[in-house]
Amino acid sequence: MQRFHSRLVSSGLAVLLLAGCTTTTSNHDTTSSADSGRGGEAAGNEHPAPQWSRDGLTSQPRLAMYRASLPGDLGFEPGSTAWQEAQRPIPRHLGAGGERHASPGALLQEWMSEADLMASLGQDAWEQTQRIYLEDDTATGIVMQWGFKDDAVLGQDYRLQMRRDTRGWYAEHLETRYHCGRGVSEGLCL
């Protein structure tokens, strides 16, 4: 009976965790015009993108939960902008001509410190999540900020492309996208 009860509780928790989560397209693809404003998420798909996968890397389940919390048809569709080159440059000492780091995690942490991303946490942003997807000598790091005190911009993500050479890890490219509460038009939050 104890074993049955444990399985029942585990199954119930899994169902609760799956609610509100969606799947995304590959993190290296840009969203198509049909997906623009939805951040590449499949409408109506309630299964989360798997962890330790390209799809899971950029999945933002908070946006799906936000969409689900809205009453009926409000005349707008919350979504995400396409990835675009970030306005803030990668610090020179973290790039190809600079110092090296022992791991992509250490490099992402150093970039976050340089960008002072923690300063807004608990003040302007409710939460921040970091993820890294590793493939041989390349890695993609994601920093997801959510819960902005703004009804137009709900969150912002950064995607840092990293590479390893004989000396260690360095940053190659930085992109960003925004999660928009009232929708996306011409690549911007409404």
- How do residues 107-157 score in pLDDT, each as one tens digit? 999 999 999 999 999 999 999 999 999 999 999 999 999 999 998 999 999
What pTM does this model have?
0.76
Answer for the pair 158, 130: CB distance below 8 angstroms, yes or no.
no
Give the pLDDT confidence of 66-111 residue by residue, as tens digits.
999 999 888 899 999 999 999 999 999 999 999 999 999 999 999 9
Answer for the pair 131, 159: CB distance below 8 angstroms, yes or no.
no
- H-helix or E-strand containing 171? strand 168-180
Q: Is 143 helix (H, G, I), strand (E, B) or coil?
A: strand
Answer for the pair 122, 147: CB distance below 8 angstroms, yes or no.
no
Domain residue spans in the chain?
A: 2-189
Question: What size, in residues, is the chain?
Answer: 190
- H-helix or E-strand containing 5? helix 2-18
- Scan for tokens 């950064």, then name that residue: 158
Phi-psi region of 140 (alpha: psi -120 to 50; beta: other; left: phi over 0): beta
